[in-house]
């Protein structure tokens, strides 16, 4: 979709970006013969960045899944930690699955000790990044607000708006 034109035998792309990866075509022509066309595939390598990671709420005894998505070329490798402890599949009733850009940490039977902050680390040869993800239970306070107080605030706001509308008309 992007066009670069060069009258020289070289194409210089300064400060190349990851979205400039793709197939490029070189065409050499003169007045004597048909153009000679060659294609080259350009891959732009870049360190990982985590594009999706969200906190998850689940009740004790239920299945819980934390998910982490990272973009990187070459593909990122993932690790999960709880505090300073690296987690591994099969230990403490968890399973880690890495499929392409997504890594999941599955708890088959969530217990109180499972609640807390987890860190997803995505690494390739160019660097690494991490994200903190919280597994929380019902009624937990996340970002200073729990789900019950959110519902109460919404109810209060709805009532206030209704009263304001009713009084105005």
Predicted pLDDT of residue 143: 56
Note whether 73 and 116 are same-domain residues.
yes
Examine the domain organization and report whether 5 and 74 are in the same domain: no
* Assessment of whether the complete model's pTM goes beyond 0.85: no
Question: Is residue 154 situated within a structural domain?
Answer: no
Kindly state whether residue 141 falls inside one of the protein's structural domains: no
Do residues 79 and 13 both lie within one domain? no
Task: Report helix, strand or coil for 143.
Answer: coil
Within a domain: residue 83?
Answer: yes
| Over residues 147-151, mean pLDDT | 41
pLDDT exceeds cutoff 60 at 162: no
For residue 161, is it within any domain?
Answer: no
Please provide the average confidence, as pLDDT, over all residues in the chain. Answer: 83
Residue-range definition of the domain harbouring residue 108: 47-136
At 141 the three-state DSSP class reads coil
Judged on CB neighbours under 10 Å (0-12, 13-18, 19+), 14 is exposed
**Residue 65's domain is classified under what CATH number?**
2.60.40.10
Query: How many domains does the structure of the chain reveal?
Result: 2
Per-residue pLDDT reduced to its tens digit, 69-127: 999 999 999 999 998 899 998 887 899 999 999 999 999 999 999 999 999 999 999 99
Residue 153 lies in a domain: no
Let me know whether 53 and 130 are in one domain. yes
pLDDT tens digits along 18-39: 899 999 888 888 889 888 999 9
Say what the pLDDT of residue 150 is: 41
Q: Which residue has the tokens 């390739």?
A: 124
């Amino acid at each position: 979709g992007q066009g670069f034109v060069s009258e020289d035998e070289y194409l210089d792309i300064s400060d190349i970006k990851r979205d400039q990866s793709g197939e490029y075509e070189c065409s050499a022509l003169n007045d004597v013969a048909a153009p000679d066309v060659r294609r080259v595939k350009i891959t732009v390598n870049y360190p990982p960045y985590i594009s999706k990671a969200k906190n998850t709420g689940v009740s004790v005894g239920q299945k819980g899944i934390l998910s982490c998505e990272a973009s990187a070329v070459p593909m990122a490798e993932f690790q999960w930690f709880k505090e300073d402890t690296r987690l591994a599949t099969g230990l403490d009733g968890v399973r880690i699955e890495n499929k392409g850009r997504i890594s999941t940490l599955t708890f088959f039977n969530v217990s109180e000790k499972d609640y807390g902050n987890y860190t997803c680390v995505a690494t390739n040869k160019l660097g690494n990044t991490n994200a903190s993800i919280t597994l929380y239970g019902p009624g937990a306070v996340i970002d200073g607000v729990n789900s019950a107080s959110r519902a109460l605030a919404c109810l209060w706001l709805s009532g206030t708006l209704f009263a304001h509308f009713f009084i105005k008309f």
